[in-house]
Structure 1
Amino acid sequence: MARDTKNRQSANAGSSGKSGSTPPAAPARKPVNPLKFFSEVRQEGRKVTWTSRNETFVSTIMVLVMASFAALFFLGVDTVIGFIVNFLLGLGA
């Protein structure tokens, strides 16, 4: 039992007992070379698998078609709901 107490005391001896101690200073930042940064960006850009012009064109057309369908659908739903609301409000007049 005496050994456990001694080990605990030596473990606590390193702490100062302050709860608000300051954290250690951050290491100094390396200077950034803009030319090296942009050359690395270009290297990474070459690794990317880019879509072809045809794939981009087809995807754009599909997005425009689907957006048009969605716009027409919501126009129709809004018109029907508007007629229903006007009919119900007209019943009370």
Structure 2
Amino acid sequence: MMHADLIDQDDLLGKLRALGFEMPAGASAEQACDCAVRGLDPARARALRSMVEQLFSGGATILPAVRQAIDRNLLPALAQFNQQRP
């Protein structure tokens, strides 16, 4: 039997919590991404960027809801943060 690594909502929340982001219990992937980008500072932005790069370059399959939350929330917030910095 083949076993595929999947990144689901719980995995995303766990990764964000491991980086020190506080997440409400039962948060959706969209809500978790919203929480993570609040009050971005250089250290938080680097941590999020690194996490996203690891997720996208790893061999795991990112479930559609998680990918959509990252695409809609994390990536635009990181891009905007980088544009605002001198």
Using the size of structure 2 for normalisation, the TM-score is 0.24
Larger RCO, structures 1/2 (Cα 8 Å, 6+ apart): 2
Structure index of larger Rg = 1
Going by fraction, where is strand more abundant, 1 or 2? Answer: 2
TM-score, reference length from structure 1 = 0.22
